[in-house]
Structure 1
Amino acid sequence: MRITATLLLVAMAGLFGFALHFEDSHPAWPWVLAFSEAAMVGGLADWFAVTALFRHPLGLPIPHTAIIPTNKDRIADSMAGFLRQNFLTPLVVARRMREVNVARAAGEFLVQQREGEAGRLRAGVIQLAVDLLQSLDPDRLGNQVKAGLARQIEKVEVSPLLGKMLDAAIADQRHRPLVDGMIRWTGETLEANEDMVRAMIQNRANAVLRWTGLDERLANSVLDGLYRLLAEVLVDPGHPLRGKLEAGLAGLAADLQADPAMRAKVEQLKNDLLSNPAVGDWWMGIWERLRLGLIDMARDPNGALGGQFGQALKELGETLKADPALQLQINRLVRRTVVGIASRHGEQIVRLVSETVKGWDAQTITTRIERAVGRDLQFIRINGTLVGGLVGLAIHALTLVV
């Protein structure tokens, strides 16, 4: 476009010379002369103005030319100030964010994706997760997570918490499966060690019982009585022994909350567990299996993280589109976050813009601005040439009338 504007200016200069030579040969030539003369003046003036923005015309150090390279630091500060005052103020950002339904837009994007786009999005997110899990040092991350969990657990006094949980379970009758389990476990343990119990009873029987064979009957009676007792306790909610078990649980709940000695024992047990290397090794094993399992699932295109991930994204999008309450919450969160960033970091952002522009050399900033708006500036030159010619015709007409 610069070549076009320059050729038009050269053409007007040539036309001016041609019209000047034949001015007296025909009545039309004075009109051509007036048009070309004014067009040449207008084109030259606009060429000078456009060129003066970026460099010295013809290399001459004329004052107030090469405006952009000479004033690039001031331009940088002005751009930063304009950005700060008109775009990064909390009021402007908040007003603009109120007009944007971020949650609904995200939902529509997730729902309306074509199959290929959905696959690329899913693959991109999954690959990002895999790369993240692989790039992190598993031992270091596992130790950091373990240390973080340990610090949080150390801050919590476990005993009162356990006591309240047990109290709540007893109040809601949710302790009964625990009691039933204890009774069943006792019966199973007794059955598994029946031979040992028989031997203990027989060894403690006197010689007369052993000589008469009554020791075997005694052992059978004891075992049968124990089995019958456990069965009765298991099926009868009002059995006295069950009541004693429940009373013991209630007492344990009270001691966990109020007994200093019990609370100290529980805290000591907790600290011993946290400091036990075996617990640390157990956690590291769990963490490594979890990490490798997540990587394997993510790589499997038909797995939970692969084949179903796209469907999960689509369902998330449908929820975002259809739930105004969720949209309101997400939009409010996004708005507060963006406004907070503008409020807290607005100065750093505009300073970054200013310092970046100031860091460019004069040639760089001139080239970038000229590349961005140069085409429009060349149209200004063309328009100036043509408008100047029309003004020349108007002036020539006025001189003839007057």
Structure 2
Amino acid sequence: MAEDAARAVALRKMRVLATSLLILAAIIFLLVHLLTDMTGVWGFVARASEAAMIGAIADWFAVTALFRHPMGLPIPHTAIIPRKKDTLGASMAHFVAANFLQAETVSTKIRTAELTRRAGDWLIAPRNQDVVVRRAGQGLEYVLARVDDEAIADLTRNVLVPKLVSTRKSPALGMLIREIVDEGAHHHLVDLIVGEAHAWLSENPQVIDDIVQQKSPDWAPRFVNDVVSNRLRREVLEWTAEVRDDRFHRARQALDAWLVEVSQDLRGNTPLSERAEKVLDDLLTQDGVVDAVLEIWSSLKRLLRAAVLDEDGPVHARVRALLTEAAERMRTDRAFASEMDERIATTAGDLVESFGPELASVISDTIAGWDAKEASDRIELYVGRDLQYIRINGTVIGALVGVAIHALTLVLPAG
């Protein structure tokens, strides 16, 4: 990776710098001993270069011993990371779990991060909404493409139908009917049926004439049948018109009362509920049920795919509108944002408290999966550059200590 390559270059540069300081100290030490009498200032230079070399070599040994045997010599207590990588990995995982993956630490950070508001700021941008909608569509398309029709058939045949057959359905049906009546959702169906009946009778008056003709005795005069037919037709049309136009018509109220009674019977252990169970079970065990479910699934899948692919369609527009509404609330409703942040913080804290050690075990498991050299090289790649400062500081501090010791020897009286 480019990032690792950049780290390797930086590590090499720091190694060269630290080694160059050691070489510089050695050259100064040699020149002072060869070309001067090491008195006066040269004494300070000699002791400084000598101590600098000692410090540089000692720290080079310490840093190198972490990752490998110095100069390839199997000196005890060197190559610490290759030999102890599993122990170090376990210790690091425990350290992270004990000090970072704690409920209070994580939840406090989340509370102060204002995640909900920041998410709203991000989501309000149209391009980000497009990303969310597109990714959601891609996810749905991925799921739809991988759900096999045969799997749906098997699920229906072996799971759904047996489960429905073994479960009492009439109470749920009774509750559904009662809910429909309470909400008045059936009025539209009644309007449609009564309206169509009125229109059909208006356009087909001969139907009533034929019924009267069939039911009347043979000796009845024709004009009597005509009178009865006209009167009956007029009454039926008036009655259907009244039912159609009056939402509080007695027929509608009677229908509502009957539906309520049916819903109550279905929810109890009554003959009606038993008959309903038998009818529903017979319907569910028909061979055509699986085919019907597959047809519904195929139609639903086509509709969903069409909605997903049509980026300018109503589904995408509706989703974007919902995202905009949600984003505005996250940004402006402080009480809502605070509540959401608190829920996220609490949930994250609970999850970390429960699964913190397992999450931290990723560190130890990953390091355990590396071989010794790979572990040493990767860790050195990330921390080796900073460790080279130890060598540099050792060289500089060593030189200063050498100067201080030499000065002290000059001040102290000779023995």
Q: For 1:211-261, what per-residue CA distance to the aligned partner results, in whole angstroms no more than 9, with x for missing partners?
A: x55433433333233334444555678877666555544543443344610
Q: Kindly tell me: are residues 141 and 64 of structure 1, through their superposed partners in 2, closer, same or farther at Cα, counting changes over 3 Å?
A: same
Name the residue aligned to 1:93: 106
Name the residue aligned to 1:287: 297
3-state SS of the aligned residue for 1:369? helix
Name the residue aligned to 2:11: none
Alignment of 1:119-158 (within 5 A): 119-141=130-152, 144=155, 157-158=168-169
Choose the corresponding residue for 1:365, options 375, 391, 403.
375
Q: AA paired with 2:300?
A: L
Choose the corresponding residue for 1:14, options 2, 27, 42.
27
Q: Kindly tell me: are residues 199 and 68 of structure 1, through their superposed partners in 2, closer, same or farther at Cα, counting changes over 3 Å?
A: same
Q: For 1:260-303, what per-residue CA distance to the aligned partner results, in whole angstroms no more than 9, with x for missing partners?
A: 10111222233333333444433333322322222233223322
Name the residue aligned to 2:65: 52
Does 2:391 correspond to 1:381? yes
Count of aligned residue pairs for this structure pair: 399
Q: AA paired with 1:51?
A: T
Choose the corresponding residue for 2:366, options 356, 364, 385.
356
| Aligned-residue offset at 1:2 | 0.4
Q: Kindly tell me: are residues 139 and 313 of structure 1, through their superposed partners in 2, closer, same or farther at Cα, counting changes over 3 Å?
A: farther
3-state SS of the aligned residue for 2:220? helix
3-state SS of the aligned residue for 1:208? coil
- Contact 2:52/2:396 (<8 A) preserved: yes
Name the residue aligned to 1:390: 400
Q: For 1:192-222, what per-residue CA distance to the aligned partner results, in whole angstroms no more than 9, with x for missing partners?
A: 6643432232234334335x55433433333
Distance 2:185 2:134 in 1: 45
3-state SS of the aligned residue for 1:209? coil
Q: Kindly tell me: are residues 191 and 163 of structure 1, through their superposed partners in 2, closer, same or farther at Cα, counting changes over 3 Å?
A: farther
| Aligned-residue offset at 1:176 | 6.3
Distance 1:312 1:250 in 2: 37
Q: AA paired with 1:136?
A: V
Q: AA paired with 2:99?
A: N
Distance 1:154 1:341 in 2: 39
Percent identical residues: 34
Name the residue aligned to 1:276: 286
Alignment of 1:23-42 (within 5 A): 23-24=36-37, 27-42=40-55
Gaps in structure 2 of 5+ consecutive residues? 1-13
Q: Kindly tell me: are residues 328 and 290 of structure 1, through their superposed partners in 2, closer, same or farther at Cα, counting changes over 3 Å?
A: farther
| Aligned-residue offset at 1:29 | 2.1
Q: Kindly tell me: are residues 313 and 142 of structure 1, through their superposed partners in 2, closer, same or farther at Cα, counting changes over 3 Å?
A: farther
Distance 1:247 1:308 in 2: 39
Q: AA paired with 2:37?
A: D
Alignment of 1:300-315 (within 5 A): 300-306=310-316, 309=319, 312-315=322-325
Q: AA paired with 1:205?
A: S
- Contact 1:106/1:320 (<8 A) preserved: yes
Residue range with higher mean Cα deviation, 32-41 or 246-255:
246-255
Q: AA paired with 2:210?
A: A
Name the residue aligned to 2:18: 5
Residue range with higher mean Cα deviation, 240-249 or 372-381:
240-249
Alignment of 1:229-268 (within 5 A): 229-231=239-241, 245=255, 248-258=258-268, 260-268=270-278
Q: Kindly tell me: are residues 121 and 70 of structure 1, through their superposed partners in 2, closer, same or farther at Cα, counting changes over 3 Å?
A: same
- Contact 1:54/1:366 (<8 A) preserved: yes
| Aligned-residue offset at 1:46 | 0.7
Does 2:199 correspond to 1:199? no
Q: Kindly tell me: are residues 41 and 122 of structure 1, through their superposed partners in 2, closer, same or farther at Cα, counting changes over 3 Å?
A: same
3-state SS of the aligned residue for 1:99? helix
Name the residue aligned to 2:96: 83
| Aligned-residue offset at 1:54 | 0.9
Alignment of 1:109-120 (within 5 A): 109-111=122-124, 113=125, 119-120=130-131
Alpha-carbon RMSD across the aligned residues, in angstroms, is 3.5
| Aligned-residue offset at 1:373 | 0.8
- TM-score of the pair, normalised by structure 1: 0.83
Residue range with higher mean Cα deviation, 384-393 or 334-343:
334-343
Q: AA paired with 1:32?
A: V
Q: For 1:282-332, what per-residue CA distance to the aligned partner results, in whole angstroms no more than 9, with x for missing partners?
A: 333332232222223322332235466555434322221222343244334
- TM-score of the pair, normalised by structure 2: 0.81
| Aligned-residue offset at 1:75 | 0.8
Distance 2:257 2:138 in 1: 56
Distance 1:236 1:310 in 2: 41
Does 2:60 correspond to 1:68? no
Alignment of 1:149-188 (within 5 A): 157-164=168-175, 183-184=194-195, 186-188=197-199
Q: Kindly tell me: are residues 343 and 240 of structure 1, through their superposed partners in 2, closer, same or farther at Cα, counting changes over 3 Å?
A: closer
Q: AA paired with 2:53?
A: M
| Aligned-residue offset at 1:359 | 2.0
Q: Kindly tell me: are residues 375 and 235 of structure 1, through their superposed partners in 2, closer, same or farther at Cα, counting changes over 3 Å?
A: closer
Q: For 1:69-108, what per-residue CA distance to the aligned partner results, in whole angstroms no more than 9, with x for missing partners?
A: 1111211221122122222344443444443432222112
Gaps in structure 1 of 5+ consecutive residues? none
